[in-house]
């Protein structure tokens, strides 16, 4: 299938994570693919250097590439005005507005759905609270008006793709909840980069002989990093946190000497942390949560929120421990449940080969095969007028 393919992503201005891993897997699968985004920042998102990248008109606004949330009301226009006329296939990878691009009837639009927009639905209040400027009465009023408009637009934009593939069953259920009569394809789970194993056993000596737990995550509210810090403090365990985000300052205020923050790590440093940790913590409500499979890849168990997408691939007591709590539980409840889960994990014996084998079932090759098969099937159906 020799077709020109455009890849659409919401915002290419964050460091490497699970979603960016998907983009790079698609780049390997379709080398000539061109990346479109509302804004991009090649300094923060070094992975973008592997792409030919085209941005919307928002890129010309000086502060937009890093403060895009203040221009949320312009995002629909940013994507609707992208010129995709020379492409046969459009692939949107999105948890926000990228699915709303305009395509012709003879173009195939496949949406790989990371999640319905959190800031419009289940995390709207958190979104308004996390920034001081948005709390100001006048700004807050305008922000709510903008969110109301964006929600109406989102309810239209979701039906523009020809087919939608969710990244997990939990995302599929969420989409079915928020969008009426939406047809969704079978789940294709995101890929794990198994080449990370090639960076283990580095020459860097692990001078820290005491056990530590590892948390790899963006530092945003729904990741529930604070309970992990508090749980490890109460147990007297060291916690290494790899990641960055708007919650970093707040988290450092509650952390003590047992908590170490790391960021901008290369693959060798990250592999070394995975290889030498006691286990990995993933207490957040993740749409997926690739760190769970990365933990298993290195033969490490994961304590994972049972409502996260990756928990669908982690069998309780075999590949890790399912963390039990409800979405609206208070921090104290989450912390106590996390402590119980850590104690439960310590009593369990996890077979490293079983863990690694579980992760390898979802490597990039598996993802590439499943995605390419779905795309070819959809493209043929489109060309034959069946889609």
Do 266 and 208 fall within a single domain?
yes
Structure tokens at 248: 């970093």
User: Is residue 51 classed as helix, strand or coil in its secondary structure?
Assistant: coil
| CATH code for position 259 | 3.40.50.2000
> Could you tell me if 87 and 181 lie in one domain?
yes
Ramachandran angles phi, psi of 11, nearest 5°: -150, 125
260-314, pLDDT tens digit by residue?
999 989 999 999 999 999 999 999 999 999 999 999 999 999 999 999 999 999 9
The answer on 250 and 173 residing in a single domain is: no
Write down the pLDDT at residue 66.
83
DSSP of 98-131: GGG----TTSEEEEEES-S-GGGTTTHHHHHHS-
- The pTM assigned to this predicted structure is 0.94
* 360/364 Cα distance (integer angstroms): 9
Residue 291, C-beta contacts closer than 8 angstroms, at least 6 positions apart: 215, 216, 217, 280, 282, 302, 310
The structural domain count of the chain equals: 2
Q: Is 182 helix (H, G, I), strand (E, B) or coil?
A: coil
Domain check: are 79 and 199 in the same one? no
Residues 280, 286: Cα–Cα separation, whole Å? 15
Q: Which domain holds residue 233?
A: 194-360
User: Quick one: what percent of the chain has pLDDT higher than 90?
Assistant: 83
Query: Does one domain contain both 125 and 218?
Result: no
Helix runs in the chain, H state only: 18-29, 75-80, 124-129, 132-135, 137-157, 169-178, 225-235, 248-254, 267-276, 291-297, 331-347, 352-360, 364-383
Same domain, 21 and 162: yes
Cα 165 to Cα 70, 119, 203, 344, distances in angstroms = 29, 21, 42, 35
Confidence of residue 158 (pLDDT cuts 50, 70, 90): very high
The whole-number average pLDDT for the span 209-216 is 90
18 neighbors 290 (Cβ within 8 angstroms): yes
**In this prediction, what percent of the chain has a pLDDT beyond 70?**
97
**Whether 183 and 208 share a structural domain:** no
What pLDDT band is residue 372 in, cutting at 50, 70 and 90? Answer: very high
Reported as a pLDDT band with limits 50, 70 and 90, residue 125 is confident
Residues 185 and 203 reside in one and the same domain: no
Give the model's pLDDT for residue 200.
85
Judge if 202 and 311 occupy the same domain.
Answer: yes
Residues 74-119 pLDDT 10s? 999 999 999 999 999 999 999 999 999 999 999 999 999 999 999 9
- One domain for residues 176 and 243: no
Predicted pLDDT at 139 = 82
Which of 109, 98, 95 lies closest to 36 in space, CA to CA?
98
152 shares its domain with 236: no
For 27-75, write each residue's pLDDT tens digit. Answer: 999 999 999 999 999 999 999 999 999 999 999 998 888 888 889 999 9
Proportion of the chain in helix, strand, coil states, percent, rounded to 5: 45, 15, 40
Do residues 174 and 313 both lie within one domain? no
């Amino acid at each position: 299938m020799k077709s020109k393919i455009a890849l659409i992503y919401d915002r290419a201005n964050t460091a490497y994570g699970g979603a960016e891993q998907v983009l790079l897997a698609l780049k390997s699968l379709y080398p000539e693919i061109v990346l479109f985004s509302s804004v991009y920042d090649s300094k923060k998102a070094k992975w973008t250097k592997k792409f030919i990248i085209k941005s919307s008109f928002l890129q010309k606004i000086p502060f937009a590439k890093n403060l895009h949330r203040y221009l949320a009301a312009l995002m629909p226009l940013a994507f609707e005005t992208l010129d995709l006329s020379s492409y046969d296939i459009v692939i949107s990878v999105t948890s926000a507005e990228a699915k709303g691009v305009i395509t012709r009837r003879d173009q195939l639009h496949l949406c790989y759905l990371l999640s319905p927009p959190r800031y419009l639905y289940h995390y709207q209040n958190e979104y308004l609270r996390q920034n001081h400027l948005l709390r100001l009465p006048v700004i807050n009023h305008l922000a709510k008006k903008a969110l109301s408009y964006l929600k109406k637009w989102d309810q239209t934009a979701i039906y523009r793709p020809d087919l939608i593939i969710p990244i997990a069953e939990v995302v599929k259920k969420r989409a079915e909840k928020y969008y009426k009569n939406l047809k969704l394809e079978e789940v294709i789970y995101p890929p794990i980069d198994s080449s990370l194993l090639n960076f283990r056993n580095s020459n860097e000596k692990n001078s820290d002989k005491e056990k530590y737990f590892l948390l790899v995550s963006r530092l945003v509210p729904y990741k529930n990093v604070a309970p992990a810090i508090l749980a490890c403090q109460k147990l007297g365990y060291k916690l290494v946190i790899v990641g960055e985000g708007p919650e970093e300052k707040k988290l450092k205020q509650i952390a003590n000497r047992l908590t170490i923050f790391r960021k901008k790590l290369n693959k060798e440093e990250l592999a070394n942390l995975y290889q030498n940790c006691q286990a990995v913590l993933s207490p957040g409500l993740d749409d997926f949560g690739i760190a769970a499979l990365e933990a298993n890849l290195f033969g490490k168990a994961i304590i994972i929120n049972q409502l996260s997408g990756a928990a669908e691939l982690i069998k309780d007591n075999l590949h890790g421990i399912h963390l039990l709590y409800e979405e609206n539980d208070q921090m104290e409840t989450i912390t106590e449940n996390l402590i119980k889960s850590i104690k439960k994990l310590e009593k369990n014996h996890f077979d490293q080969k079983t863990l690694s084998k579980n992760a390898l079932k979802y490597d990039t090759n598996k993802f590439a095969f499943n995605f390419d098969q779905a795309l070819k099937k959809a493209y043929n159906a489109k060309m034959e007028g069946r889609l």
